């Protein structure tokens, strides 16, 4: 195995693959030889990522899939397997961010955030784990957040959802370790130009240079992250390079958690 083909022959399902971090992961994984099922709630977004991968000579299929809906997850995974065979690895990048303190977010906002970020990862894991157990191998990579490790202001639903995702990762890790399955998470800092990044800006009543400077200064390395920064870590966790890691999380945040 060379270092440029870490996923050759592997079938990887990426949720939220139509945008931002998921798009970056799908592209890097395809460049590393994976056959990628690019899944997203938005059909046109998944199709765009898959088309870009194919244009670069990779192998990808776009699948419309709502991670919060069990039937949709089942149908999407069935379609993925019909094209690319059993699933070797999954990256859960689909996510929702709705800002507000506990008294600012509505109950419906809470349900949406928890549903996409936690129930979604749970349903996708349930969809792939039985076949991984049968085959005696599999990897799951959850995209959590630094917001799963520390409180960020006015994220009364998002913070708990990302912490719960880390707990789910640990739970899967210990329950399925004996079946050759590993589950790990990534906690990114702010990733420039992604959907979540735009959401944060919008919540702060509009994007301004001052705001971007403030957010950037939270990251000691002096810049916001890129989807590729996160994708390289996801590649490590989804490949055999991380074969003795499970149940843990890797912080990819330009030093944001360390201090500023
Ligand atoms: P993004 O908005 O660019 O992409 C998320 C994708 O998920 C979108 O294409 C969207 O259509 C899809 N999606 C939403 N709901 C879905 C559902 N029910 N079923 C299937 N797909 C659905 O977001 P991003 O910024 O790339 O974030 C990706 C992940 O990384 C999220 O879980 C987010 O919480 C996490 N994260 C992002 C940042 C950041 O700064 N961007 C930082 C830390 C963690």
Q: Which two tokens stand for residue 89?
A: 């690895």
Q: Is the CB of 256 under 6 A from ligand 1?
A: no
Q: Is the CB of 194 under 6 A from ligand 1?
A: yes
Q: Is the pLDDT of residue 208 over 90?
A: no
Interior angle at CA 165, CA 162 and CA 171, nearest 5? 150
Q: How far is the CA of 2 from the centre of ligand 1 (A)?
A: 31
Surface-to-core class of residue 217, CB atoms within 10 Å of its CB (0-12 exposed, 13-18 middle, 19+ buried): exposed
Binned at pLDDT 50, 70 and 90, residue 211 comes out as confident
Domains assigned to the chain = 11-252 (3.40.50.720)
Looking at the CA of residue 72, tell me the nearest atom of ligand 1. Answer: 19
Residues forming the active site: 158
Binned at pLDDT 50, 70 and 90, residue 215 comes out as confident
Per DSSP, the three-state class of 47 is helix
Q: How far is the CA of 174 from the centre of ligand 1 (A)?
A: 26
Instruction: Kindly state the average pLDDT of the residues 130-151.
Output: 98
Q: How far is the CA of 1 from the centre of ligand 1 (A)?
A: 31
Instruction: Kindly state the average pLDDT of the residues 119-137.
Output: 98
Q: What percent of the chain has pLDDT over 90?
A: 88
Contact status, residue 142 vs residue 182, Cβ threshold 8 Å: no
Q: Is the CB of 40 under 6 A from ligand 1?
A: yes
Tell me the average pLDDT of the chain: 95
Q: Is the CB of 38 under 6 A from ligand 1?
A: no
Whole-number Cα distances in Å, 92 to 102, 116, 137, 191: 26, 10, 18, 16
Q: Is the CB of 94 under 6 A from ligand 1?
A: yes
**Residues 190, 223: Cα–Cα separation, whole Å:** 9
Whole-number Cα distances in Å, 179 to 9, 100, 129, 130, 253: 21, 40, 10, 10, 32
Q: Are strands 35-40 and 59-64 parallel, antiparallel or unpaired?
A: parallel
Q: Write down the pLDDT at residue 209.
A: 75
* pTM of the model as a whole: 0.97
**Residues 94, 30: Cα–Cα separation, whole Å:** 18
Q: How far is the CA of 93 from the centre of ligand 1 (A)?
A: 6
Maximum CA extent, the chain: 53
Q: Write down the pLDDT at residue 206.
A: 66
Binned at pLDDT 50, 70 and 90, residue 207 comes out as low
Q: Is the pLDDT of residue 22 over 50?
A: yes
Looking at the CA of residue 224, tell me the nearest atom of ligand 1. Answer: 40
């Amino acid at each position: 195995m060379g270092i440029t083909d870490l996923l050759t022959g592997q079938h990887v399902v990426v949720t939220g693959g139509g945008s931002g971090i998921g798009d970056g992961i799908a592209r890097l994984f395809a460049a590393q030889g994976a056959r990628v099922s690019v899944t997203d709630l938005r059909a046109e977004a998944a199709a765009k990522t898959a088309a870009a991968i194919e244009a670069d000579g990779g192998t990808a299929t776009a699948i419309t899939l709502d991670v919060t809906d069990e039937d949709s997850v089942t149908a999407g995974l069935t379609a993925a397997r019909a094209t690319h065979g059993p699933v070797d690895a999954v990256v859960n990048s689909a996510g929702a961010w709705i800002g507000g303190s506990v008294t600012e977010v509505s109950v419906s906002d809470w349900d949406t955030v928890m549903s996409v970020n936690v129930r979604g990862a749970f349903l996708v894991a349930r969809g792939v784990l039985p076949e991984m157990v049968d085959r005696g191998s599999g990897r799951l990579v959850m995209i959590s957040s630094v917001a799963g490790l520390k409180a960020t202001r006015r994220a009364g639903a998002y913070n708990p959802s990302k912490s719960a995702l880390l707990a789910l990762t640990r739970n899967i890790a210990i329950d399925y370790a004996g079946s050759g399955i590993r589950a790990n998470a990534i906690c990114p800092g702010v990733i420039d130009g992604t959907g979540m990044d735009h959401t944060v800006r919008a919540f702060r009543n509009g994007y301004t240079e001052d705001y971007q400077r403030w957010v950037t200064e939270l990251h000691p390395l002096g810049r916001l992250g890129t989807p590729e920064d996160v994708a390289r870590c996801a590649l490590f966790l989804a490949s055999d390079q991380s074969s003795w890691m499970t149940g843990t999380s890797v912080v990819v945040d330009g030093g944001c958690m360390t201090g500023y």
